[in-house]
Structure 1
């Protein structure tokens, strides 16, 4: 499976979008924020540095009952912005929407353009983000998903970055075959037409993976999707600070995985069985055979990761591969146990079942 995915990724033809037609359209950037005083300035500074004309951009920030200085920091950062900036305090619940989905539902109602660019408060987007994503939003395309990688100075941060980018490479392989997998709500374009035909977040079933819920609803209404694996749409996410918080994040993501088609879940489960079967191979054929198989797996994984970093315009961190194997085993085992615990989903200090 890994060899096939690696080959398909390396052989894939990167679609070249048509030039963005003139005049360039107005766009809306929607950001949900809750207690993000430490990150929001970085996010909004990147938006101020977008190469897209500022007078065609409206930035809508939803302050979700923050108890820190999120709003003050945001307003100070956007002071003098040439485009339109508005910070909304979210106090009411719309329909079935809760948490981040509720914030985005409010922002979508205020937005005045036909293109909703959605990102998170801990994300810094690329300067060419808008004009690189827009050409992929054809008449029947409902969602366009960009590329995000974690960046930080610690080894734990860098392993998260490798994990993210390699996972997105695998998603890209499946998406290139015309199979919808998921969207990513920290780097996503949704057209107004696609969003409104679903009824919006206030009409969708509540989910802790609200981006995937919207993605499914848009597809169900007959729209298609695009996943863009290009450096022009690369955004940088702040890393998760602790292993426990990482487990909470991945447990939340598992909700989306559990909603994937059965054939894809089976493939993921088969892939996850590598390490248990490797132990069986140690017993059946000895440690040298198992080490040889592990070495081939690491080589293929490295080639896939190299392709992902290369296509993203980044330098491949080859030195991380040995530590990444330990990281993968530890995360897989810990998450398998953590998923079974009766622990509520924790998102920005709020708990959801």
Structure 2
């Protein structure tokens, strides 16, 4: 048993070191192409439900994009909000020189529900051949449109940008590190040629790719609608790009509380359940390290267990350094890593117990989904 546990830890560290090396060296990174000439028109889609507090930040970043305003179309979908979402959106866009519209969503299209339904309506209203999708709690950089378009090469259906968390407080800082490490590993898998996932808060999809799927109204309902669309586009033969660079680095507001964080991750687990088997196996492999540490302690080798834990922290820190450098972010404080391990263990335990106790539904924006 001791040999098995030590071998697992050694293999985990080897994989982590390889991932760090590949990320730092940009091995397999997508090469940008020339921006289409003339510059194309793009439509930006934002689904919003009860987002009066977050929307001004998002829309201010969209109005500040370094792209001709007459070639930008901003469409906001107000999904039956009970607050001032629509009024806030209209006020924020009043000074925008380009075309813009706030649509109130009142009915469902086909099989679409929730956010997917709002995006289905917005995609129908959009006039451009490139659809850029983000969320109300996201702020994008001025370079966002140009950088995303430069990776929409012929045959590419989706381009996914990098999203990081920005916020004050311990929970926000831990979420920032969590997102950074998780997206770094996803990036390594993508650059190795594996279609991992897409993020609907920072995503480009071509109209040709979107229409080839029949749109959200034709897809089976999913609370991880971005992953469902990504899979459908790939299944129709389109290519994909995943980017990890400052020019496409959007910032997300953090989950405001532990309960909100757990609800977010429960939604994400729906997407994990749809991942290919080998990808799920990889996630189990990475998340099983704590069991190995516990196993070493239980068989009477506390020193080995503490050493394995220290190496795990060191491995995560090395990956965080490489990811931060590539993303153009300040290096994370080393003392945050031990706290991150406790956070990660607590979150994994909470999610596992919630699933084992039989809870299957998830809550999203005041709505319950099964």
Task: Give the TM-score taking structure 1 as reference length.
Answer: 0.98
Give the deviation of 1:144 after TM superposition: 0.1
Alignment equivalent of 2:361, drawn from 338, 344, 350: 344
In structure 2, the residue corresponding to 1:315 is in which secondary structure? coil
Aligned to 2:288: 273
Alignment equivalent of 2:342, drawn from 319, 326, 339: 326
CA contact (8 A) 2:65 2:141 kept: yes
Give the deviation of 1:158 after TM superposition: 0.7
Q: Tell me the alpha carbon deviations over residues 32-86 of structure 1, each in whole angstroms, 9 at most, x when there is no partner.
A: 0000000001100010110111110000000000010001011111112111110
Counterpart Cα distance in 2 of 1:290 and 1:176:
33
In structure 1, the residue corresponding to 2:52 is in which secondary structure? coil
Aligned to 1:253: 268
Aligned to 1:12: 26
Give the deviation of 1:339 after TM superposition: 2.2
Counterpart Cα distance in 2 of 1:15 and 1:208:
29
Give the deviation of 1:15 after TM superposition: 4.0
Q: Please list, as runs of the form range in 1=range in 2, the aligned pairs for 1:147-226 lying within 5 A after superposition.
A: 147-226=162-241
Aligned to 2:351: 335
Give the deviation of 1:16 after TM superposition: 4.0
Counterpart Cα distance in 2 of 1:19 and 1:320:
40
What number of residue pairs does the alignment pair up? 353
Q: Please list, as runs of the form range in 1=range in 2, the aligned pairs for 1:266-305 lying within 5 A after superposition.
A: 266-305=281-320
In structure 1, the residue corresponding to 2:330 is in which secondary structure? coil
Bigger mean CA deviation after superposition, 217-226 or 275-284: 275-284
Task: Give the TM-score taking structure 2 as reference length.
Answer: 0.93
Give the deviation of 1:191 after TM superposition: 0.2
Aligned to 1:137: 152
In structure 1, the residue corresponding to 2:65 is in which secondary structure? coil
Counterpart Cα distance in 1 of 2:149 and 2:323:
22
CA contact (8 A) 2:24 2:326 kept: no
Counterpart Cα distance in 1 of 2:18 and 2:353:
30
RMSD of the alignment, in Å?
1.1
CA contact (8 A) 1:247 1:338 kept: no
Counterpart Cα distance in 2 of 1:36 and 1:87:
13
Aligned to 2:126: 111
Could you tell me which runs of 5 or more consecutive residues in structure 2 were left unpaired when the two chains were aligned: 1-14
Bigger mean CA deviation after superposition, 311-320 or 51-60: 311-320
Counterpart Cα distance in 1 of 2:336 and 2:295:
26
Aligned to 1:101: 116
Counterpart Cα distance in 2 of 1:330 and 1:3:
25
Counterpart Cα distance in 1 of 2:183 and 2:59:
25
Q: Tell me the alpha carbon deviations over residues 197-219 of structure 1, each in whole angstroms, 9 at most, x when there is no partner.
A: 10000000000000000000000
Q: Tell me the alpha carbon deviations over residues 217-252 of structure 1, each in whole angstroms, 9 at most, x when there is no partner.
A: 000100010001110000000010111111111011
Q: Tell me the alpha carbon deviations over residues 163-202 of structure 1, each in whole angstroms, 9 at most, x when there is no partner.
A: 0011100000000011101000000000000000100000
Could you tell me which runs of 5 or more consecutive residues in structure 1 were left unpaired when the two chains were aligned: none
Alignment equivalent of 1:264, drawn from 253, 275, 279: 279
CA contact (8 A) 2:33 2:153 kept: no
Counterpart Cα distance in 1 of 2:355 and 2:176:
22
In structure 1, the residue corresponding to 2:90 is in which secondary structure? helix
Counterpart Cα distance in 1 of 2:62 and 2:135:
12
CA contact (8 A) 1:123 1:186 kept: yes
In structure 2, the residue corresponding to 1:235 is in which secondary structure? strand
Aligned to 1:87: 102
In structure 1, the residue corresponding to 2:150 is in which secondary structure? helix
Bigger mean CA deviation after superposition, 14-23 or 253-262: 14-23
Counterpart Cα distance in 2 of 1:50 and 1:286:
56
